[in-house]
Amino acid sequence: GQNIDQPTEMTATEGAIVQINCTYQTSGFNGLFWYQQHAGEAPTFLSYNVLDGLEEKGRFSSFLSRSKGYSYLLLKELQMKDSASYLCAVRDGGGFKTIFGAGTRLFVKA
């Protein structure tokens, strides 16, 4: 079966660093994505990993370990506007289907 797990909720303080973990078991693997979704809006793309290692993009970084079926999204210098849901998604081996996790709701407090 296909399964993507991530924590339901996390809370962090403005200016701090937070790490959101994601583990997956899918039928093949053709890339892992992280999306941000504010309440009532569509998801927007944050990052993509297909090879092991860390990808850095400004305040956001994403890490992938394919052998462990594991990824994390690292958010630095948290801002109040970072309060949102963060969705981990995996594209399967066929390259057509992207399966999403349930998302992690991040609350940033002052």
Tell me which residues touch other proteins (CB under 8 A).
Answer: 4, 30-31, 33, 35, 40-45, 48, 50-51, 87, 89, 91, 95-103, 105
Provide, rounded to whole angstroms, the least separation between the CB of residue 106 and other proteins.
14
Shorter beta-carbon distance to other proteins: residue 33 or 72: 33
Whether 98 contacts 89, CB under 8 Å = yes
Shorter beta-carbon distance to other proteins: residue 55 or 76: 55
* 3 state DSSP class of 32: strand
Q: In terms of DSSP bridges, do strands 32-37 and 84-91 run parallel, antiparallel, or are they unpaired?
A: antiparallel
Shorter beta-carbon distance to other proteins: residue 39 or 110: 39
Terminal Cα-to-Cα distance of the chain (whole angstroms): 41
Provide, rounded to whole angstroms, the least separation between the CB of residue 89 and other proteins.
8
Q: How far apart are CA 97 and CA 81, in angstroms?
A: 30
Provide, rounded to whole angstroms, the least separation between the CB of residue 15 and other proteins.
27
Provide, rounded to whole angstroms, the least separation between the CB of residue 60 and other proteins.
14
The Cβ of residue 6 has, within 10 Å, a number of other Cβ atoms equal to 23
* 3 state DSSP class of 61: strand
Shorter beta-carbon distance to other proteins: residue 13 or 90: 90
